[in-house]
Amino acid sequence: MLKKFIKPVYAHCDAPCGIYETDTMRHAAETCLRMIEKIESLGELDDDNTEQMANFVRFVQTKEFHAQKVKNEIYVLWSDYFKPEHLVKQPEVHTVLWQTAKQASHVKQTVSKKACEDLLTNVKAVEKLFVSSKS
């Protein structure tokens, strides 16, 4: 009888669980960079080489998926983890998280090694804020 009222719920932690980390974000940013390296290893694209084109598409798709993952992880930290008391000690939280989310969007829009390297730099800045917020 109750089964018809039970629906799946998808959320990170509106419970809240208190489990937050930056490893997933870093791994996703590193994956973006790795996909650019793999794209570069393909050489000049040849429309007649279907395997090469399929690999290019897969690499781009993977890069974009992981760039979105960075954004999702940023939003969880921003909305669920960081509290007003953190902002008192670290007023740059909003700016650093916003810049990282914007950089992840830039990674999605381009096939740029520099954009991915900048994203990784931004993620490291988020990690630093996160770690120092715990002390």
Domain count across the chain = 1
Count other Cβ atoms within 10 Å, centred on residue 14: 9
Higher pLDDT, residue 134 or 91: 91
Q: Which domain range does residue 109 map to?
A: 22-133
**Domain assignment of residue 124, yes or no:** yes
**Domain assignment of residue 8, yes or no:** no
Q: Could you read off the pLDDT of 66-111 as tens digits, one per residue?
A: 999 999 999 999 999 999 999 999 999 999 999 999 999 999 999 9
**Domain assignment of residue 5, yes or no:** no
CATH number of the CATH domain containing 47: 1.20.120.400
**Domain assignment of residue 88, yes or no:** yes
- pTM, 2 dp: 0.86
Residues whose CB falls within 8 Å of the CB of residue 6, separated by 6 or more in sequence, listed in order? none
Q: Could you read off the pLDDT of 40-54 as tens digits, one per residue?
A: 999 999 999 999 999
CB neighbour class for 59 (10 Å; exposed up to 12, middle 13-18, buried from 19): buried
